[in-house]
Amino acid sequence: MDSHLRPLTVLGSSLSKNVLVKVKWNREYRGTLDGYDQHMNLVIKNAEEVIGDKSTGVLPLVVVRGDVVVYISPSEVI
Amino acid sequence: MDSHLRPLTVLGSSLSKNVLVKVKWNREYRGTLDGYDQHMNLVIKNAEEVIGDKSTGVLPLVVVRGDVVVYISPSEVI
Amino acid sequence: MDSHLRPLTVLGSSLSKNVLVKVKWNREYRGTLDGYDQHMNLVIKNAEEVIGDKSTGVLPLVVVRGDVVVYISPSEVI
Amino acid sequence: MDSHLRPLTVLGSSLSKNVLVKVKWNREYRGTLDGYDQHMNLVIKNAEEVIGDKSTGVLPLVVVRGDVVVYISPSEVI
Amino acid sequence: MDSHLRPLTVLGSSLSKNVLVKVKWNREYRGTLDGYDQHMNLVIKNAEEVIGDKSTGVLPLVVVRGDVVVYISPSEVI
Amino acid sequence: MDSHLRPLTVLGSSLSKNVLVKVKWNREYRGTLDGYDQHMNLVIKNAEEVIGDKSTGVLPLVVVRGDVVVYISPSEVI
Amino acid sequence: MDSHLRPLTVLGSSLSKNVLVKVKWNREYRGTLDGYDQHMNLVIKNAEEVIGDKSTGVLPLVVVRGDVVVYISPSEVI
């Protein structure tokens, strides 16, 4: 009951899975988490970009700087 | 009377308990604290997201970056 | 006359005492200082939250991130 | 399936390739990635600058500070 | 002529003296400098708070976070 | 083909050459790069300052803090 | 031709000389540079404060936090 999940461990368990990444300025990216580092810089594949409520298309591969990230939500509970 | 609670100790004691996490831009997350690290990055399970006064749904699992956190309030006093 | 008070020493002397914590975005918390660390992350018990001029209630326990703190004012001079 | 791409590795694999670099304030740069460092400072050659929706011309060589970068998207998947 | 004053040395020489501390968001504090640290966190006694042009009262003791400080001006030249 | 230019190397190669330095708040400086350090603090000689679209004159010598820099663009490709 | 001026060296050479210090929020200080440190915290004597286009008076001595500095321009070229 006391075992807990380190934030970076959750990212590690989410590799190759679908994630929702919310960033500042009301932007979000939905795609497959393909990598990360200790600064929470993220690599996302097939990232659908949503600004406000509007999809602006899919980026095949994107490196998002950790500094702009608000949260990362994996679509499956670990 | 002089013993005091380190901020990270309070987070440790709040694991598996309900917390209210207020973040910048008038957002909040209510759910079970499932993890944290020394940067106050947080893992929250079943996080109800509230923007302004409006609930926008529940995220099964979310990693919130510490840099955007304003405060964390456990629902039980330790 | 030259002895002076380190900021963290003032926090140490304010433990278990009433403090006013002003944070960014015109928010403040009034309650008992129950802990702190070197980043000025703070633990406050029975924290009355005031936004603008309006009290929004009392949080039994709250960890405020140092990064959002403007000032901490103990109600008693040390 | 568990091998993953470190963010800086993705930048390394994108050298001499076309990238889209989105920065703060709705600016973007499209050109050839010619260098980077661990802060995500970037060197871009023949960088077309777009502000909002408007192209403002091409910079033959530009060093973009990592601190202003939102994301880097290579045009080819690695 | 080449001897110069380190910023922290000026703070050290200003202990127990009156200072004007300008912080972000058009706020200022006038009082006696009672302490500081290397982050320019400041301890001020009998600090008159001025927001815009309006005095909002006196705080008997206040710890101002260095991160919000714009400048510190001692009322006497050292 | 894989040799790439480190951002600071580009600055080193741009010494004594004309650069355009774009900073936050829609300001720019055009002049001769005369120095830099690892924080991208820059020394520029005969820096024409442009705010928005309006030239506001020439500063004979200016030290620009790296923290406010958006990009540096040398006028010659290296 | 390749010798260049480190930003802090320029500050060292500007000691006891007149400087223009531009800070965020359209403020500037003109006075004698009396000290600095590696964070670009500055000590200025007889600093005329200008906000927007309006002089607001002279501060006999002021410690400006480096974090708010945009640029420092010595009135003489070194």
Q: Which residues make Cβ contacts (< 8 Å) with residue A53, sequence separation at least 6?
A: none
Q: Which residues make Cβ contacts (< 8 Å) with residue B54, sequence separation at least 6?
A: none
Could you tell me if G78 and G8 are in contact, meaning their C-beta atoms sit under 8 angstroms apart? no
Confidence of residue B1 (pLDDT cuts 50, 70, 90): very low
Length of chain F: 78
CATH 2.30.30.100 fits D7-74, yes or no: yes
Tokens of D36: 């980077």
Q: Residue E3 has what pLDDT?
A: 65
Task: Please give the residue of chain F at the shortest CA–CA distance from D14.
Answer: F2
Q: In whole angstroms, give the CA distance from residue D51 to residue A51.
A: 16
Whether E16 has a pLDDT exceeding 50, the answer reads yes
User: In which residue are the tokens 């829609």 written?
Assistant: F26
Which of D37, D45, D67 lies nearest to residue F6, judging by beta carbons?
D37
pLDDT tens per residue across span F15-65: 999 999 999 999 999 999 999 999 999 999 999 999 999 999 999 999 999
Interface G:C, ≥3 CB–CB pairs < 8 Å? no
Q: Residue E78 has what pLDDT?
A: 62
**Which H or E run contains C58?**
strand C54-64
F77 and D15 in contact by Cβ < 8 A? no
CA distance B75 to chain A (A): 18
pLDDT (mean) for G38-63: 96
Confidence of residue B2 (pLDDT cuts 50, 70, 90): very low
Whether G2 has a pLDDT exceeding 60, the answer reads no
**Looking at beta carbons, which residues of chain E come within 8 Å of C75?**
60
Q: Residue G3 has what pLDDT?
A: 66
How many C-beta atoms lie closer than 10 Å to residue E11's C-beta? 23
Whether E2 has a pLDDT exceeding 60, the answer reads no
Q: Does C34 touch chain B (CB under 8 A)?
A: yes
Whether E67 has a pLDDT exceeding 90, the answer reads yes
**Looking at beta carbons, which residues of chain D come within 8 Å of A23?**
70
Q: Residue B77 has what pLDDT?
A: 67
Closest CA to D61 of D37, D38, D35: D35
How many C-beta atoms lie closer than 10 Å to residue B72's C-beta? 28
Low-confidence ranges of chain A (pLDDT < 50): 1-2
Q: Residue E4 has what pLDDT?
A: 81
- For A42-69, b/e burial (b = at least 16 CB within 10 A) is bbbbbbebbeeeeeeeebebbbbbbbbb
Which of F23, F35, F64 lies nearest to residue G4, judging by beta carbons?
F35
Could you tell me if E78 and E16 are in contact, meaning their C-beta atoms sit under 8 angstroms apart? no
Tokens of F22: 């774009």
pLDDT tens per residue across span D35-73: 999 999 999 999 999 999 999 999 999 999 999 999 999
Q: Which other chains touch chain F, taking contact as 3+ CB pairs less than 8 Å apart?
A: D, G
User: In which residue are the tokens 């030239």 written?
Assistant: F55
Q: In whole angstroms, give the CA distance from residue B72 to residue B77.
A: 12
Residues facing residue A36 across a β-bridge: A42
Q: Which residues make Cβ contacts (< 8 Å) with residue E68, sequence separation at least 6?
A: C70, C71, E23, E24
Q: Residue C46 has what pLDDT?
A: 97
What average pLDDT does the structure give for chain E? 93
Q: Residue A46 has what pLDDT?
A: 97
Could you tell me if G15 and G33 are in contact, meaning their C-beta atoms sit under 8 angstroms apart? yes
Per DSSP, the residues of E4-66 read ---HHHHHHHTTTSEEEEEETTTEEEEEEEEEE-TT--EEEEEEEEEETTEEEEEEEEEEE-G
Q: In whole angstroms, give the CA distance from residue F11 to residue D78.
A: 29
pLDDT tens per residue across span B22-51: 999 999 999 999 999 999 999 999 999 999
Which of B4, B67, B71 lies nearest to residue C63, judging by beta carbons?
B71
pLDDT tens per residue across span C14-71: 999 999 999 999 999 999 999 999 999 999 999 999 999 999 999 999 999 999 999 9
